[in-house]
Amino acid sequence: MFKVKILQLFDSFVLNTVGPYYRRLGKSLLTQGNDILGSETSDDRLVQCLRQVEAKGHKPQIGDAIFTAPNSVLIGNVILKQNSSIWYGATLRADNNSITVGKNSLIQDNVYIKATKAITVGNNSLVGPNSNLQGCTIGDDAFIGMGSTIKEGANIQGIVAAGSLVPEGTEVKQGEVWAGSPAKYLRDITPQELQILREYKQELLELAQVHGEETSKNFRQIVIDTDERFIKQQRGTEEEALQKIAELNFPLEYEDEEFIEQRVFMKQQPPMFMDSENLKSQQDQYEQDLSQFSENMQKYSEDYQIYEEAKKYFEQNPQAKANQFASKSEIPDDKPWSRKY
């Protein structure tokens, strides 16, 4: 929490003090440089964001859109409703009349819309890439195929195939498929095709949300994402496993961590002792032949078998004496037991 407060104070200081100071300093240096150059001066100017260009007192209203591409051009009285999206290279010119894009509608790449008359794109509609719309009306759930041209006064409520030219004043009713240049009625859309179009629109909506989140990140978020990707590349498999377990809120101690790292390592590597007998039995790679381990492990294994036998005997004969069983061997002191084995 304390670190967050420090970062907030730092951001505020940069925005309110450092930034304006350097801006004033830059303007002063630019003016002095132009005075020195005289007739050779070059008046470079910063171009404003093309997504919001005011024209004739109207400014685009894009606050409800889910995604507006950084290089899209929105001029004048453009209204984007909830979850609408304007993709890369699209141009919407509403300097003479209004352009309204309905809810969940998608204006895809390099679409050109010119409001010679007021243009309305209905809800849940899709305008394909490289299309050209001029003073027309697009209804709800309409689909305009890529590379299509819709002339002034046309009313599109149905489906226009890719590359079609819809003449002025043409009406395409809901459920109809039109195609050609000039476009003519082809047939009615099938329920299967309608379902495919709905699924396609939904996929594009989800993709638009992803693009919107990425293009709206500030400089600090981009730096953090870059650092996280770098750390992930440098992180080993054991560290990833431990981090995943920590995210699941499992309690971890030193011994647990070492055990998990060993399991991860052994899962990646082939069994240490893969002889013909192990291959035939297809045993688990963690259940290895104890004879390959140290002498201590063998001694403990033998004593454990004796313990199991004794336990079973005393359960059946509670009156028996304990001196009937003795350890077969003793563990040498010069090789103490280690949990590493």
DSSP per residue over 274-298, as a string? Answer: --HHHHHHT--TTS--GGGS-HHHH
pLDDT at position 34 is 79
Higher pLDDT, 250 or 142: 142
Which among 88, 85, 123, 91 has a CA at the least distance from the CA of 107? Answer: 85
Residue 304 in this model has a pLDDT that exceeds 90: no
Tokens of 49: 């964001």
Helices and strands, number each (H, E), in the chain: 8, 18
- What pLDDT does residue 126 have? 96
Cβ neighbors of 68 (< 8 A, separation 6 or more) are 51, 62, 74, 80, 85, 86, 212
Tokens 């498929």 belong to residue = 177
Quick one: average pLDDT of 241-248?
A: 72
Question: Which of residues 245 and 181 earns the better pLDDT score?
Answer: 181
Q: How far is CA 171 from CA 131, 147, 168, 241, 328, in A?
A: 18, 19, 9, 61, 99
Higher pLDDT: 92 or 300? It is 92
d(CA 141, CA 202): 12
| Side-chain-side CA neighbours of residue 103 (13 Å) | 1
What one-letter code names the amino acid at 68? T
Element of type H or E holding 174: none
> Averaged over 157-173, what is the pLDDT?
94
Q: Are 101 and 123 in contact (CB under 8 A)?
A: no
Average per-residue pLDDT for the chain: 80
For tokens 């929105």, name the residue. 74
**Residue 267's pLDDT is what?**
47
Helix (H, G, I), strand (E, B), or coil: what is residue 329?
Answer: coil
**pTM, full prediction:** 0.58
Confidence band, pLDDT 50/70/90 cuts, at residue 285: very low
pLDDT of residue 2: 64
Give CATH 2.160.10.10 domain extents, the chain.
67-196
Helices of type H across the chain: 2-13, 19-37, 191-215, 219-234, 237-247, 254-268, 276-281, 295-316
Check whether 319 has a pLDDT greater than 60: yes
What is the CATH number that goes with domain 67-196?
Answer: 2.160.10.10
Residue with tokens 């004969």: 317
Give yes or no for residue 277 having a pLDDT over 80.
no
**38-42, 204-208, 244-248, 279-283: the lowest-pLDDT one:** 279-283
Q: How many residues does the chain have?
A: 341
Q: Is 66 helix (H, G, I), strand (E, B) or coil?
A: coil
Q: What is the mean pLDDT of residues 169-190?
A: 94
For residue range 68-123, what is the model confidence (pLDDT) as tens digits?
A: 999 999 999 999 999 999 999 999 999 989 999 999 999 999 999 999 999 999 99
CB 103 within 8 A of CB 120: no
Q: What phi and psi, each to the nearest 5 degrees, are found at residue 160? A: -115, 120
Of the candidates 61, 102, 101, 68, which has an alpha carbon nearest to the alpha carbon of residue 86? Answer: 68
- Which tens digit of pLDDT belongs to each residue from 130-151? 999 999 999 999 999 999 999 9
Average pLDDT of the residues in 41-64: 79
- pLDDT in the model for residue 291: 54
Among 63-77, 85-99, 208-222, 249-263, the least confident range: 249-263
Residue 247 has pLDDT above 90, yes or no: no
Q: What is the mean pLDDT of residues 285-302?
A: 59
SS3 of residue 219 by DSSP: helix
> Which residue has tokens 């563990």?
331
DSSP code at position 58: B
